[in-house]
Amino acid sequence: MKITAARVIVTCPGRNFVTLKIETDQGVYGIGDATLNGRELSVVSYLQDHVAPCLIGMDPRRIEDVWQYLYRGAYWRRGPVTMRAIAAVDVALWDIKAKMANMPLYQLLGGRSRDGVMVYGHANGSDIAETVDAVGQYIDMGYKAIRAQTGVPGIKDAYGVGRGKLFYEPADAALPSVTGWDTRKALNTVPKLFEKLRETYGFDHHLLHDGHHRYTPQEAANLGKMLEPYQLFWLEDVTPAENQEAFKLIRQHTVTPLAVGEIFNTIWDAKDLIQNQLIDYIRCTIVGAGGVTHLKRIADLASLYQIRTGCHGATDLSPVTMGTALHFDTWVPNFGVQEYMRHTEETDAVFPHDYTFEKGELFCGETPGHGVDIDEKLAAKYPYKPAYLPVARLEDGTMWNW
């Protein structure tokens, strides 16, 4: 069995997606996601010019060997572009192998560890009252876990407050838009939000919050301490993770669970945080961390330290990644939760899939492979549109972490 073609498909049914389709001489094909929000064309170039030519003639069943070829064989390793390209290939090959075996992907990974996958949705509002109402709407839809973000008085375009209620696309302009940030104003507002949420809905539902890399370690520790009475499921990306020792300071001062990892690319990004038990949830993704093959390694390392998975799942990941993640989530023993931001109807039409939502959980289907396909004719009707993620500045103009 040989790979005969590896084609890159770019489409924009509401937002940009980069899809790799690998075809074989036996008529079986697989697809993988390589989307990198705001930098899609960087991955397209790497896939088309550097990866795809190397795949022709390879045996698609040798998934591990192909992964090692693309990772070890590249002197300039790691990084978001390289690892997304590897992830696209890896997922497409797992799709092919599962189709050959006539099995859903989770069976090849070792079978079920659970029946359904608990997911969390995104509730947001321009102020606390609006966010409280939005959380109630998610509860009414059956969600057991909800991430809550609110606008902050005096902060321009606060992170997480999107234009839609069920989906949120931050890449909003042909050049980066400028948002604002003020830590003190956020620290004065966020605890009030969760106080109101617990007062309104009690403690039966899991609540989450995303700091989006905005706080210094001391500020993050302060926020975690203030949120302890409200028993958050987790506090996410509360400080930039480049300085992993910063999490020691946070850990010393708060028992609020910590989650990090959606921008990590390899096990090396997460190793120290995991081994030193400085986090509770690892949020690496199928598309961001080198595919199923490498994410399995990260999850296995985390399991040794009682750290659970909580894979990123915003709309910048295509249904291909979501479908694959659900097979991974169905198998992985140390599962925690799966982020689930719904795609637009246009996106769902371009990427027909068999996963379903019911009572706060997603269920992967029984279709052989990862259960997601691409309608290439429909995809061609949505050409690429340049779109950047925003940037953030403090009130005095200083650049900050978006």
Residue positions annotated with a catalytic role: 159, 212
Residue 120, both tokens: 């969390």
Task: Spell out the SS3 assignment of 184-198.
Answer: HHHHHHHHHHHHHHH
C-beta of residue 362 within 8 angstroms of C-beta of residue 119 = yes
- Beta-sheet pairing, 206-210 with 234-236: parallel
CA nearest neighbour of 259 among 301, 224, 294: 224
Residue 268, both tokens: 């090396």
CA nearest neighbour of 95 among 297, 375, 87, 85: 87
What whole-number distance in Å separates Cα of residue 29 and Cα of residue 24? 6
CB neighbour list of residue 32: distance below 8 Å, 6 or more residues apart:
19, 20, 22, 87, 88, 89, 90, 91, 92, 93, 95, 291, 320
C-beta of residue 29 within 8 angstroms of C-beta of residue 21 = yes
H-type alpha helices, 110-182 = 128-140
What whole-number distance in Å separates Cα of residue 293 and Cα of residue 313? 18
Q: CA distances (Å), 327 to each of 193, 255, 321, in order?
A: 34, 31, 10
The identity of residue 324, as a single letter, is T
C-beta of residue 120 within 8 angstroms of C-beta of residue 328 = no
